[in-house]
Chain A
Amino acid sequence: MSTSGLFRFPAPLTRVCPVPWGLRLCEKLPLLSPGTVATPVQAAGKKDRPTLLSLDERELEEQFVKGHGPGGQATNKTSNCVVLRHVPSGIVVKCHQTRSVDQNRKLARRILQEKVDVFYNGENSLVCREKREAEKRKQERKKRAKETLEKKKLLKEQWESSKNVP
């Protein structure tokens, strides 16, 4: 795999992606209750990780707790699996990692974000780039370890031979 063009940042989003993506901060969405604010999904966790492309909530179809019935006290359901579909690309993510619908919704969005990034950016996607960087770091560590070992060997040989000099 050639490394020449891979560490350029991807072309501006409007060229790569068929739909304009942007931050949608204060949209009232049918999926969320009126009290909450729709925030763009950010790649959380690692501080120096460049942020993934945000997902536009309007391009997502979400399904959870199927066949709910009256809801509230009148229902006791344990299924909090979230099925999230990104309409433009057709990618579907199913998340049942936790027992909380809310948490699963957040996780589903994060996973979908990564998958959509790979879909549109292929080798340039964050996931692939990070993999390559991790692999590169690993190779460098191996190389350094090997060099250190060889130096030690050389020093030892020198010391051995200096001992033998009367």
Chain B
Amino acid sequence: MLRALLSGLGWRKGIWGCAFSSWQPHQPPAGLSATEVVSHWTVVFEEKGIPEARESSEYIVAHVLGAKTFQSLRPALRTQPLTPWQLQCIQELSSYRLQRMPVQYILGEWDFQGLNLKMAPPVFIPRPETEELVEWVLEEVTQGPRVVGAEGGPLILEVGCGSGAISLSLLSRLPQRVGGGPWSPSLVSEHPASHVPLFLGQSRVTAVDKGEAAICLTHENAQRLRLQDRIQIVPFDVTLVESWAHLLPWGPVDLVVSNPPYVFHRDMENLAPEILRYEDPVALDGGEEGMDIITHILALAPQLLKDSGIFLEVDPRHPELVGSWLQSQPDLPLNLVAVRRDFRGRPRFLHIRRSGPQRVSPVDAWPGRQPARVPG
């Protein structure tokens, strides 16, 4: 556990130089229990205006004691005195929180859809809303029209993979293969009508990102989760190319999923210091109306898309904007077919599908096609 602690902070050189210094601001008195230490740091954070003072303190203390949340700690562990080493670790991690570092970066790991993923700045931290996006894609894949390609499937393309959260959670929930492969019990019990094997081959993902750090982190998380054989991670900037044809080593994809940068440029400066100081702005800034990357994805996706379409997470203002934009692109055979709300009741997710009958395979169609004009 301590190794994980060190590696989580290792990206910042020289921190261990101050680990054992005698000057320790805010250090609580010795002999306190976990509960008392949490209260101590909560007060310190509150005095310094740190948001989520209690939650931050709880996560840090729980992490040092080897648990994911404070409430999940055995009551006995919460009441016995902490060792000087534990207090030291808590002090160190808390000093980062005082500098507004997000808790996920401080701990160096976070959970998404039940998977534990490594986190490292400046790679974008997965948001809880995005778990709902994964659920929707899984529903579509298991309940929607059956799609079986040359390789079996489903074949998924993720644009802007970041830490790999979406791709890896999809892979971990999708059946690996028919017959011999491990079945995900959750799929069978939630969709009892569809425990007939759906796919003749492996479900696979191509994950792309323009950031080098994201590519590395997704690789690392794929290996941690032993999913590296089913994911292809490709450095790629979707805004710099006119076609995605070379992303088709396995043929056309069954669906495209993305949590693209969608923050309106004018909103960027209002973001919390946690985000502005530590996360890559490129992963957030979507241009004037937050639509730049979205429109690129929509413009190019039909070239490699089969049936199921495109699943996006967006800003609540986007359903209308995307609807209008699609209408302004008559050559683009896409329709906005569904909008889904997040757990806060905000319109957050879009499902866009090919409109009209599929004439030929998208790969055959693209050489002669002119891609739709992309604004900006």
Contact = CB atoms under 8 A, between A and B. Distances in A.
Contacts of B72: 97-98
A20 interface: no
A-side binding surface: helix, strand, loop or mixed?
Answer: loop
A97 B69 contact: yes
Given A68-B344, A73-B263, A78 B104 contact: yes
Given A71-B342, A72-B127, A72-B129, A100 B114 contact: yes
Nearest to B52: A79
A76 B131 contact: no
A79 B55 contact: yes
Nearest to A36: B135
Interface string B78-90: 0000000000000
Contacts of B275: 74-76
Interface in B259-304: 259, 261-263, 267, 270-272, 274-275, 279, 283-284
Contacts, number: 101
Contacts of B263: 73-74
Most interface-central of A72, A73, A103 (chain B CB within 10 A): A73
A35 B272 contact: no
B262 to A, nearest CB: 6
A39 B131 CA distance: 19
Given A78-B103, A98-B69, A72 B55 contact: no
Given A72-B127, A73-B262, A96 B70 contact: yes
Contact of B56 (A33, A78, A81, A98): A78
A72 B267 contact: no
Interface string A54-91: 00000000001100101111111111110000000000
Contact of B136 (A35, A68, A100, A102): A35
Interface in B296-321: 313, 315-316
B343 A101 contact: yes
A101 B114 CA distance: 11
Interface in B114-173: 114, 124-125, 127-129, 131-132, 136, 139
B71 interface: yes
A81 B284 CA distance: 26
B344 A100 contact: no
Contacts of B113: 100
A79 B270 CA distance: 20
Contacts of B313: 72
Nearest to A70: B267
B345 interface: yes
B262 A99 contact: no
A18 interface: no
Interface in B330-375: 340-346, 348
B139 A73 contact: no
Given A74-B315, A77-B128, A95-B71, 15 more contacts: A33-B341, A35-B136, A35-B139, A70-B267, A72-B129, A72-B316, A73-B127, A73-B263, A76-B125, A76-B272, A78-B52, A78-B102, A79-B55, A100-B111, A103-B114
Which 5 pairs between the two chains have the least Cβ-Cβ distance? A99-B111, A33-B341, A96-B71, A79-B55, A78-B103
